[in-house]
Amino acid sequence: MAMQYQTEIVNSIADLVKIDSSQKEALPGMPFGKGAAEALACFLSLARQLGFSTENYDNYIGEAVFGTGEPFAILCHLDVVPAGSGWTRPPFGGTVEDGKLYGRGAMDDKGPAVICLYALKALKDEGRAPRRTIKLIAGCNEESGWACIEHYNKVARMPEEGFTPDADFPVIYAEKGILHACLSFPLPQAPFSSLHGGDAANKVCERAAAAVPHADGARVQKYGLRFADGALVSQGVAAHACHPEEGKNALDALLAYFAEEDARIARIYGLLFKEANGLRAFRDETGALTLSPDIAKYDGEALHVTVDIRYPATYTQEEVCRRLDTFGAPYRLLHCQAPLRNDKNSPLIQTLCRVYERETGERGEPIAIGGGTYARALRRGAGFGPQFPGAPNVIHGKDEYIALADIAKLFRIYKEAIRALCF
């Protein structure tokens, strides 16, 4: 890769990372807050500087366009989950250190969005015209609701085929279904006066606290808690909720502590962290169902817990809800996405496999994931990187980064994938 692209890509990613584009309260003309609107403006400005026509659809979502013919989508997102705690570099600093660019969104998904934009720039500089209209679409609400995609479908026409650089390599042919629900467990006269934890439904709860008049020292030590200033505090480790096993849920230890003294909480703990009335037995070739309790709040009468459920692709939302009905707690569905399942032998999947194998020298077997990507917004869509097999997964965690060496690899892969599918 020409060194000019490497330098420009790194600088452009850093510029975007410096913008806190996590969802905030809506403002006039800014449906997801000021940060998300600024990130979209920054990205579209860059695209225009690189010679592409752009469109901003009311600060919900935007696109850079290249070529003519049958539309092809590259779906990215510019919003991020909240930074959380425990960072050793500024989460919105765009710091480059030890061969890595640090910041929330560096991998998910600002970095890949910028890399794909420069891949289009490199192809454009070669002087060849694509046989398809390539639409690099950048949304601002992927992490918390997909209202951006809903708006796009109202004001524009979504291409039928494409990929999203917001998943894993080699290529994703199937994604589990997603269900976010807020369960309300009746709990009058709880052993705590308040309890709260978590800041995003799709992020493993990394801190939880409960107000109590006193604490059992032996149990505090047993569950690795801290008691200070009238509060029991549980510190966990954040991770993407589609891989809850990669984090440490702070609510686990906190509820386990209270489960030893209150049978009602023992039942709640069992439902949320143990067998969950058989929910975790749901399994197929796309994997087992996962349930991650990520946000909790006690209001004096009930404990409200928002759970992130990723269910296997051959199951339905109705089957999951029937099992949730047995929890004995009323619930509200907050966000639902049906599973995605493509034919492994389709031209899209096989082309992306071949590109991955050619550029990396590694076998490109299609895989299924628990994560939910924009690929399911397309009739024929696939997740394609940026996460390499065996590499540390820092998405949604502290000190998120993109390795500078990987930027060069990703540039080559995405450039050749676009060439193979659109030229």
Residues serving a catalytic function are 79, 142
CA distance 234 to 40: 36
User: In this structure, what are the phi and psi dihedrals at residue 111, rounded to the nearest 5 degrees?
Assistant: -60, -55
CA distance 278 to 288: 11
CA distance 17 to 7: 15
* Contacts of 320 by beta carbon, 8 Å cutoff, 6+ apart: 177, 179, 279, 282, 289, 309, 311
Q: 3-state DSSP call for residue 296? A: strand
Asked if 210 and 195 touch (Cβ cutoff 8 Å), the reply is yes
Give 265-273's long-range contacts (Cβ < 8 A, gap of 24+).
265/187, 265/190, 265/191, 268/185, 268/187, 268/303, 268/305, 271/327, 272/305, 272/307, 273/249
DSSP secondary structure, 254-282, as one string:
HHHHHHTT-HHHHHHHHHHHS-GGGGGG-
What does the DSSP 8-state code read for residue 80? B
Asked if 177 and 290 touch (Cβ cutoff 8 Å), the reply is no
CA distance 266 to 257: 9
Q: Looking at the DSSP assignment, which residues form a beta bridge with residue 175?
A: 340, 369
What does the DSSP 8-state code read for residue 148? H
What does the DSSP 8-state code read for residue 388? P
**Beta pairing, strands 100-102 & 96-97:** antiparallel
